[in-house]
Amino acid sequence: MIKVKALRFRMSLWYAIVLSACLIAYGASMYIGVSGYLYRTLRKSIEHDARTIADKVLPNVSAKGAAYLQAALNEMYPEVTARFIRVSTGSGTVLYASPRPFDKSFDPTLIPFSPITEQSQFTKSVHGAGRFPILIDVLPYTAPTGELYFVEVGANTQRISTMVRGLGVSLLLGIPILIAIAIAGGILVTRNAMQPLDDIAESAERITSRNFGERLPVIETGDELERLTISLNRMIERLQDAFAHIERFSADVSHELRTPLSILRAERELLLQRKDLPNDVRDKLLNSVEEIDRLSRIVSQLLEISQLKAGAIKVDPFPIDLGKLAVNTTEQMLLLAEIKGVKVSYDTQPDCYIEGDGALLRQVIANLLDNAIKYTPEHGHIRVATRRSGSRAILEIEDTGIGVAEQDIAKMCEPFYRADAARTRTIAGAGLGLAIVKSICTAHAADVAITSAVGVGTKVSVQFRAASAPAKLSKPEPMSDLRPTET
Ligand SMILES: Nc1ncnc2c1ncn2[C@@H]1O[C@H](COP(=O)(O)OP(=O)(O)OP(=O)(O)O)[C@@H](O)[C@H]1O
Ligand SMILES: [Mg+2]
């Protein structure tokens, strides 16, 4: 579809209008100029011939007779010149009339006498000719002896008309073709001129919070484009600073909260050791310890997310068999599924390797499984699958649970987001599990895609870059830290 408002379209349109106007003006002036020049030249030539006959031949006619006139004119203007020549006396007697020319382009006998004049005068006669008139110059001449003659010299305008018409046709055909070529060229040129903007847009699209260090290519044109790229780069720099500040701030807050929380917990544990505590105080203290634990977990998870985002947690790339990792991790959580009455099945392909940090990847699988178990009612089914597809290794965890509405899917990975509070109120969670999954996956350059339908189920698929199988036995993966992010 043509985007009428697009700068490229408007530039091309203006260019086409200006160019068409110029070409049409040029064509019209060329047409008028050339045809005028041709007619002028023809007039001059006929006038010159009439004058030559009058000056060179007619003075001798009264002395030498009509035979002399005939011989002289036949010699000067043989039939091939295709000139119409007629010499008559003042009383109307024709002394000489040129024969029909070789090309039979006109018949001289049919051409009527031109009106008598006192000076050289041009007339046009369509008689005796085809479609094109004969242009005739009538020149009155008075011989030294006093006799009056009329010299008529004419030429068929067919050749000039044909040439002018040919010029007109070629201009009419040529100008639109030229305009079309020029417009196509103009579109190409504007497209090329716009290409740097496309490159800028593409680079800008690539810049995310994870690669804020990247900059747009500066186009050194010395004009608005260069200024635009420099300004955008400065803006990205300011955003990077602001972003780093926020990341640092949340990391600092989480870090600073950990110590007071530990102190609070330790104090309560000390109090709980006292034997003389009334039961209701003991219950309250136990409750507050539980709440402190919950808060501590949230704080640690927040810290983990900020550190992952800031790149402070080093991802140790090690070859990992994705299928084995998925099965291992799932086995450790089977009890949870059993308690909930949910069936778990595997569909893993062998030799599906990726490079990554085993402990972090376990956390991804554990968090996804935890969600699948939490949000799938009794008798539900969870499928854990791994497979290789081209250069990608894919991990899929699919459940037949409560699902999420389409408009909420995009927000699921945001920290503290919990879809449909009414349905999840009874299910424990802080809304940080998927945010951690997302941060870990981003640190592994993996994509997380979620599809879900309310009441049908949810499928989370994580696409890693596939790696080749390790040559020798790989480092055993850490088996600890398998706990999902319970809160
Ligand atoms: N498999 C799933 N089925 C249905 N809803 C899901 C599923 N996984 C996630 N969700 C929805 O997405 C929200 C965010 O998930 P996330 O794992 O980040 O948080 P959580 O499970 O509520 O808490 P946490 O993981 O911190 O214990 C959940 O509250 C839930 O509404
Ligand atoms: Mg969760």
Can you give 90-111 as a three-state secondary structure string?
Answer: CCCCEEEECCCCCCCCECHHHC
Least trusted range by pLDDT, from 94-98, 465-469, 479-483: 479-483
Rounded to an integer, the average pLDDT of 321-340 is: 95
pTM: 0.58
Can you list the pairs that 40-46 forms with residues at least 24 positions away whose Cβ atoms lie under 8 Å? 42/135, 42/155, 42/157, 42/160, 43/122, 43/135, 43/137, 45/155, 46/83, 46/135, 46/136, 46/137, 46/153, 46/154, 46/155
Atom of ligand 1 nearest to the CA of 457: 3
Least trusted range by pLDDT, from 139-148, 164-173, 289-298, 337-346: 139-148
CB contact at 8 A, 26 and 56:
no
- What tokens appear for 228 in the block? 């635009």
Least trusted range by pLDDT, from 414-418, 438-442, 476-480: 476-480
Among 114-123, 129-138, 206-215, 327-336, top mean pLDDT goes to: 327-336
Q: Helical H runs in 207-347?
A: 224-272, 279-310, 322-340
Between these two residues, 219 and 475, which has the higher pLDDT value? 219
Ligand found nearest the CA of 431: 1
- Strands, sheet with 83-89, edge to edge from the N-terminal-most edge strand: 94-97, 83-89, 148-156, 134-142, 121-125
- Residue 474 confidence (pLDDT) above 60: no
Least trusted range by pLDDT, from 31-35, 44-48, 98-102, 324-328: 98-102
- Residue 478 confidence (pLDDT) above 80: no
- Rounded Cα distance, 153 and 140, in Å: 12
Report CA(419)–ligand 2 centroid distance (Å): 11
Whether ligand 1 lies within 6 angstroms of the CB of 397 is answered as no
Whether ligand 1 lies within 6 angstroms of the CB of 417 is answered as yes
Report CA(334)–ligand 1 centroid distance (Å): 19
Q: Which domains does the chain have, with CATH numbers?
A: 7-162 (3.30.450.20), 224-310 (1.10.287.130), 318-467 (3.30.565.10)
Report CA(434)–ligand 1 centroid distance (Å): 7
What is the band of 411 on the pLDDT scale with cuts at 50, 70, 90? Answer: very high
SS3 366: helix
In the chain, what are the helix, strand and coil shares in percent, each to the nearest 5? Answer: 55, 15, 30
Could you tell me which of 339, 385, 340 has the C-alpha nearest to residue 365?
Answer: 385
- Residue 483 confidence (pLDDT) above 50: no
pLDDT of residue 305: 87
Question: Which residue owns the Cα nearest ligand 1 atom 9?
Answer: 371
Question: Which residue owns the Cα nearest ligand 1 atom 28?
Answer: 418
Half-sphere exposure of 397 (CA within 13 A, CB side): 25
Rounded to an integer, the average pLDDT of 436-449 is: 93
Report CA(332)–ligand 2 centroid distance (Å): 17
Whether ligand 1 lies within 6 angstroms of the CB of 380 is answered as no
- Residue 198 confidence (pLDDT) above 80: yes
Report CA(265)–ligand 1 centroid distance (Å): 28
- Rounded Cα distance, 183 and 17, in Å: 10
pLDDT tens for residues 247-276?
788 888 888 998 999 999 999 999 999 988
pLDDT of residue 461: 97
- Residue 182 confidence (pLDDT) above 50: yes
Between these two residues, 6 and 205, which has the higher pLDDT value? 205
- Rounded Cα distance, 18 and 25, in Å: 11
pLDDT of residue 265: 94
- Return mean pLDDT, the chain: 87
- Rounded Cα distance, 317 and 314, in Å: 9
